[in-house]
């Protein structure tokens, strides 16, 4: 099988003859059409560079002079309400860009470097229709498990995974699902990535001593039914989140952990009392994003000589699935990438009485994960294997995206 070169450059964007405003608009529209998750403007010792993050991989778009890049950065800063003359300290801003009826929320960050100012622009489509749980790409079993957690009257749900794995999108999709007018929903974020009607969203402001713990304590005085915490970073936030969950609030939060069971260990490492955690935690999920094979150039490869390839996931396969494996060499429709967009792979760990006992005893992550799998959890490895069997992604993409230790069968 021939796997496309994921590092292959994208077509350069033509900016010659344009003023700063026109060039910025063309850049944003070009990046949005790809679509890219991030747009980067930076300078090195000799030139300015343009790049995007496309399908999770950094791709160059072209070069300009350092002066030209500086003018583009200054224009974006001006539109986003950032201090144009402040180049020696990091700045943040926001700009909702509208084009052809589409709205793109741009979260802008600058940082000084030895060669000038670098700018990073996070791009997010302002389309609540994209935030349906069914559009996340999760297998039906994992989606059903997540929805069951959402119907709980109170408790803590943790979402884990590396940066850029879609955790924020999943949180917003959960809030969108719950936002039916019958619940008061509050969030504390850094920053607010997407404005959602009907939800009370707050940002932390460290320079004003408004950090996650302070904002969370204030939100609890607002009588919320549902609370979303952008990220648990410190012991106070972790403890407050668990106390809120134990007092009847439905609490969502992201956390740094590689797998769902690892979220439990991370909370204990932050000093959360194991009894409070065991009683307040509803479940944890971990997710990754894998490339979706291009339907225009996808090709099948017979697996008749390796019939046990999908034995571990046979019970979840539809008739005809798992008999072939797919790859895509790349074509003009996918910019010769072999992939068009990305889709989610997840594992959802729901707490049982046995898992609560393991938490109380502070048992290792491996034991908790093994117990969850024995109880029926569709883990990352098998969820990814299902994507391959269904022809949605390739084995090479799964290996690239998910750490090898989580792709090995459990003992």
pLDDT of residue 153: 94
Work out whether strand 226-229 and strand 116-125 pair parallel, antiparallel, or are unpaired: unpaired
Bond prior to 5 in cis (omega within 30° of 0): no
Give the Cα separation of 119 and 38 in Å (integer).
10
Residue 307 lies in a domain: yes
> Pick from 91, 109, 125: which residue ends a domain?
125
- pLDDT tens for 367-381 read 999 999 999 999 999
Considering the domain architecture, whether residues 243 and 284 belong to the same structural domain is answered as: yes
pLDDT of residue 10: 76
Residue 263 lies in a domain: yes
pLDDT of residue 150: 97
Considering the domain architecture, whether residues 154 and 45 belong to the same structural domain is answered as: no
Considering the domain architecture, whether residues 251 and 184 belong to the same structural domain is answered as: yes
Give the Cα separation of 285 and 257 in Å (integer).
10
Give the Cα separation of 208 and 100 in Å (integer).
38
pLDDT of residue 30: 93
Does the model's pTM come out above 0.75? yes
Give the Cα separation of 142 and 257 in Å (integer).
18
> Which of 27-31, 126-130, 335-339 shows the lowest per-residue confidence on average (mean pLDDT)?
126-130
Return the higher-pLDDT residue of 210 and 288: 288
Q: State yes or no: pLDDT of 89 exceeds 80.
A: yes
**Range of the structural domain that residue 169 is part of:** 129-406
Residue 278 lies in a domain: yes
Considering the domain architecture, whether residues 82 and 222 belong to the same structural domain is answered as: no
Residue 363 lies in a domain: yes
Distance of CA 16 to the CA centre of its chain: 35
Q: How many CA atoms lie within 13 A of 348 on its CB side?
A: 18
Q: What CATH number is associated with residue 77? A: 3.30.450.90
Structural domain count, the chain: 2
pLDDT tier at 306, thresholds 50, 70, 90: low
Considering the domain architecture, whether residues 203 and 332 belong to the same structural domain is answered as: yes
Give the Cα separation of 403 and 99 in Å (integer).
38
Interior CA angle at 368 toward 364 and 372, to 5°?
A: 165
Considering the domain architecture, whether residues 215 and 183 belong to the same structural domain is answered as: yes
> Pick from 125, 154, 180: which residue ends a domain?
125
pLDDT of residue 206: 80
Residue 4 lies in a domain: no
> Residue 28: enclosing H or E segment and its boundaries?
helix 20-33
- pLDDT tens for 330-379 read 998 888 889 998 999 999 999 999 999 999 999 999 999 999 999 999 99
Phi, psi of 339 (to 5 degrees): -135, 145
Q: How many CA atoms lie within 13 A of 328 on its CB side?
A: 26
pLDDT of residue 238: 96
Residue 6 lies in a domain: no
Percentages of the chain per state (helix, strand, coil), in multiples of 5: 35, 25, 35
> Pick from 125, 151, 186: which residue ends a domain?
125
pLDDT tier at 402, thresholds 50, 70, 90: confident
Task: Please list the alpha-helical segments (H only) found in 110-255.
Answer: 140-150, 167-178, 212-220, 235-246
Structure tokens at 140: 């039906």
Return the higher-pLDDT residue of 358 and 406: 358
User: What residues have CB less than 8 Å from 258, skipping those under 6 apart?
Assistant: 160, 161, 162, 286, 403, 406
Q: What CATH number is associated with residue 267? A: 3.40.50.300
Is residue 328 within 8 Å of 340, Cβ to Cβ?
no
Considering the domain architecture, whether residues 99 and 152 belong to the same structural domain is answered as: no
Q: State yes or no: pLDDT of 127 exceeds 70.
A: no
Considering the domain architecture, whether residues 206 and 263 belong to the same structural domain is answered as: yes
- pLDDT tens for 56-81 read 889 999 999 999 999 999 999 999 99
Considering the domain architecture, whether residues 246 and 101 belong to the same structural domain is answered as: no
Considering the domain architecture, whether residues 61 and 197 belong to the same structural domain is answered as: no
pLDDT of residue 223: 95
Considering the domain architecture, whether residues 199 and 277 belong to the same structural domain is answered as: yes
Q: State yes or no: pLDDT of 245 exceeds 90.
A: yes
Residue 9 lies in a domain: no
Residue 23 falls in which region: left (phi positive, over 0), alpha (psi -120 to 50) or beta: alpha
Considering the domain architecture, whether residues 156 and 101 belong to the same structural domain is answered as: no
Residue 3 lies in a domain: no
């Amino acid at each position: 099988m021939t796997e496309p070169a994921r590092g292959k450059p994208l077509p350069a964007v033509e900016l010659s003859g344009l003023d700063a405003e026109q060039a910025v608009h063309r850049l944003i529209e070009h990046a949005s059409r790809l679509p890219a998750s991030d747009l980067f403007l930076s300078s090195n010792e000799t030139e300015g560079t343009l790049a995007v993050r496309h399908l999770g991989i950094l791709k160059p778009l072209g070069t300009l002079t350092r002066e030209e890049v500086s003018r583009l950065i200054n224009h974006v800063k001006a539109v986003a309400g950032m201090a144009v003359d402040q180049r020696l300290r990091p700045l943040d801003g926001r700009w909702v860009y509208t084009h052809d009826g589409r709205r793109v929320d741009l979260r802008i960050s600058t940082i000084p470097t030895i060669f000038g100012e670098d700018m990073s622009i996070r791009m997010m489509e302002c389309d609540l229709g994209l935030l349906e749980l069914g559009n996340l790409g999760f297998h039906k079993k994992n989606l059903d498990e997540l929805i069951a957690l959402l119907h709980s009257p109170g408790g803590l749900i943790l979402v884990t995974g590396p940066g850029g794995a879609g955790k924020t999108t999943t949180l917003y999709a959960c809030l969108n699902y719950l936002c039916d007018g019958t619940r008061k929903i509050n969030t504390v974020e850094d920053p607010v990535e997407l404005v959602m009607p009907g939800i009370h969203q707050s940002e932390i402001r460290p320079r004003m001593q408004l950090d996650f713990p302070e904002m969370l304590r204030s939100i609890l005085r607002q009588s919320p039914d549902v609370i979303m915490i952008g990220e648990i970073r410190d012991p106070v936030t972790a403890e407050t989140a668990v106390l809120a969950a134990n007092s009847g609030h439905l609490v969502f939060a992201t956390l740094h952990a590689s797998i769902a069971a690892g979220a439990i260990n991370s909370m204990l490492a932050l000093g959360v009392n194991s009894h409070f955690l065991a009683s307040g935690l509803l479940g944890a999920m971990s997710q990754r994003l894998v490339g979706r094979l291009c339907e225009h150039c996808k090709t099948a490869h017979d697996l008749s000589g390796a019939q046990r390839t999908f034995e571990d996931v046979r019970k979840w396969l539809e008739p005809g699935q798992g008999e072939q494996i797919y790859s895509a060499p790349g074509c003009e429709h996918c910019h010769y990438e072999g992939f068009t967009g990305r889709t989610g792979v997840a594992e959802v760990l729901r707490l049982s009485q046995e898992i609560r006992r393991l938490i109380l005893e502070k048992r290792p992550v491996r034991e908790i994960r093994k117990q969850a799998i024995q109880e029926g959890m569709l883990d990352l490895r098998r969820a990814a294997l299902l994507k391959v069997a269904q022809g949605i992604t390739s084995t090479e993409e799964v290996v690239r995206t998910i750490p090898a230790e989580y792709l090995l069968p459990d003992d």
